[in-house]
Structure 1
Amino acid sequence: MNHQLAQVRAAADRFDVRLSSTPRGARLARLLAVEQLRAWGLPLVDPAQVVAELAANAVTHGRVPGRDFRLVLAVAGGVLRIEVTDTRGDRIPVRRDPGRGLVIVEGLADRWGVREGPAPTKVVWADVPLATGSPGAATRRA
């Protein structure tokens, strides 16, 4: 019984959605993430900003017409893992001065990176701390 309970708890701490690779899909990713974080009782501001930046990058630089991008939120050990998967595995994001999205992600996340997904995808991920003393933690809404 404990194993089943652990599986249900694990499923409850994971959110997974596919969205259209459009500006509307990127906005929806942020809105859905905020609602999920609110349902989990977690900080909203920093994670929402990271989702917004990664989703915007996916639809701007990782878009292939007719293919969706994927948003995954997962909570484990006081860390929120945010993953955005797009279908342009050949375009690896790099931090550069003209684009400030990854600079923002770097500032809000403990760490971030890119990994290959199933061809032709890539996954850009960021780990955002959920500790009470972290920036943005006090912005929790009831």
Structure 2
Amino acid sequence: MTYHHLTDEATPLLAPARQLALRFSGTRRGARLARRLAVQQLTDWTAFPYDSDPARAVALVTAELASNAIRHGSLPGRDFRLALLLLPDHYRIEVTDTRPERLPPPLAQQPADETSGRGLFLVQAHADRWGCAVRNPYTKTVWAEVQLRATGS
């Protein structure tokens, strides 16, 4: 699992087999719908069952990235964008928000006694790679890739 900070990797090097991008309201409901859509698309595009390890990882990663976009990257009345890309052996989740100046903090700098802010540790644990890219002065994209291999259920 690797973290890439401010790299040019908001777009994958390989052309995706399939892709979908939608905007969601910057609300808890928007985050919930984004999570459900990410899992639905994974199961439609790959035939992985809902209770497979990749589907669980996609649900958790999408929920954390969408929640962070709403909590830390949202301006009032602004949506966030969810992009899903099916790559040869990974499923890429990209969440773009409207606060490029608020970058995810390096995990090594997280105080051990914090009672919140552990979501990116979950992303790191369930994604093979993740990172953040700022490509314009108005948005940032936090992305994660979940490897497509069934190891359970």
> What TM-score do you get using the length of structure 2 for normalisation?
0.76
Structure 2, unaligned runs of 5 or more: 1-14, 49-53
> In the TM superposition, what are the counterparts of 1:55-134 in structure 2 within 5 Å?
55-94=66-105, 95=107, 96=110, 97=112, 98=114, 99-133=117-151
Identity of aligned residues (%): 51
What is the CA–CA distance in structure 2 between the aligned matches of 1:79 and 1:11, rounded to whole Å?
10
Which amino acid letter does the alignment assign opposite residue 68 of structure 2?
A: N
Q: CA RMSD in A?
A: 1.7
Comparing 115-124 and 79-88, the one that deviates more: 115-124
Instruction: State the match for 1:36 in structure 2.
Output: 41
Aligned length: 126
Comparing 50-59 and 40-49, the one that deviates more: 40-49
In the alignment, is the contact (CA less than 8 A) between 2:17 and 2:88 conserved in 1? no
Name segments (4+ residues, structure 1) moved above 6 Å. Answer: none
Q: Deviations over 1:3-62 (max 9, x none)?
A: xxxxxxx77611211001111111111111121112112331111100000000000000
Cα distance change of structure 1 residues 61 and 82 upon mapping to structure 2, 3 Å threshold: same
Q: Which has the higher contact order (CA 8 A, sep 6+)?
A: 2
Which amino acid letter does the alignment assign opposite residue 67 of structure 1?
A: R
Cα distance change of structure 1 residues 11 and 106 upon mapping to structure 2, 3 Å threshold: closer
What is the CA–CA distance in structure 2 between the aligned matches of 1:102 and 1:11, rounded to whole Å?
25
Relative to total residues, which structure has the larger helix share, 1 or 2? 1
In the alignment, is the contact (CA less than 8 A) between 2:92 and 2:146 conserved in 1? yes
Q: Are 1:15 and 2:20 matched, yes or no?
A: yes
Deviation at 1:85, TM superposition (A): 0.2
What is the CA–CA distance in structure 2 between the aligned matches of 1:11 and 1:107, rounded to whole Å?
24
